[in-house]
Amino acid sequence: MKICNKMLAEGFGTFVLVLGGCGTALFGHVGFLGVALAFGLTVIAMAYGIGHVSGAHLNPAVSFGVWVNGRMSFKEMLCYWCAQIIGAIIAGAVLLAVWKAAGMGSTGVFAANGFGVDFQVAAGVEAGYMNVGWAGAFIVEAVLTFVFLMVILGATDERSNTKAAGLAIGLTLTLIHLVSIPLTNTSVNPARSISQAIFSDCTTWSACGQLWLFIVAPLVGAAVAGLFYKCVAPKEK
């Protein structure tokens, strides 16, 4: 498959992921459980919809972990990153247009990721978010991304039952959201974090100011998973 086809697939898939997951968070009124399911179901849909084209990474951290594991080239990874971030930003812009069309005023947190008391207050204490410091947020994001990549690398390993990979990956992402939405609003995906941060508008807290953590921590977790999977399941000579 040509790289341009893969990039189009990744851009579209990440667009759908952000539109479905963050859109549910913004407009769904379904609570943390509903948002977790929305992200998981979207990944399952994209895995079977475009997985045969690009692998349906939909996430720069996933592509990074796959590259560290030796399953894609550095150039291809960079192309995936560009497509994923662009797709996510377009989805964020669509959500913003819908938000404005509905006359909802300031976007506020706008489903962005965050940590600490400022984020807790900005999102609304009554919403159920916890006051987690930057170190705790970093651990949460890195560890859960590590878990996510281990499942992805295992489920898509040619030695496993890859037909069930999409379901396993989507359900894992649902579980990850159930654990971490109250803590960081769940990133494990730098593209998703970037898209919402740039459209957020809050006077008491800056999503862009905390964005570094939701880029660095997932990449660290993904890199460790990419290396660790080589130890867990080494290729037979």
177-215: pLDDT as tens digits: 999 999 999 999 999 999 999 999 988 899 999 999 999
Does pLDDT of 237 surpass 80? Answer: no
- Do the beta carbons of residue 152 and residue 65 sit within 8 Å? yes
If pLDDT is split at 50, 70 and 90, which confidence band does 151 have? very high
Q: Collapsing DSSP states into helix, strand and coil, what is residue 106?
A: coil
If pLDDT is split at 50, 70 and 90, which confidence band does 156 have? very high
Q: Residue 235: what pLDDT?
A: 84
Instruction: Round the average pLDDT of the chain to a whole number and report it.
Output: 96
Distance CA 39, CA 16 (A): 10
What does the buried/exposed string (b/e) look like for 17-32 if buried means 16 or more CB atoms within 10 Å of the residue's CB?
bbbbbbbbbbeeeeeb
Mean pLDDT of 43-61: 97
Q: How many percent of the chain have pLDDT more than 90?
A: 89
Q: How many percent of the chain have pLDDT more than 70?
A: 100
What does the buried/exposed string (b/e) look like for 173-199 if buried means 16 or more CB atoms within 10 Å of the residue's CB?
bbbbbbebbbbbbbbbbbbbbbbbbbb
Q: Residue 191: what pLDDT?
A: 98
**77-110 residue pLDDT tens:** 999 999 999 999 999 999 999 999 999 888 999 9
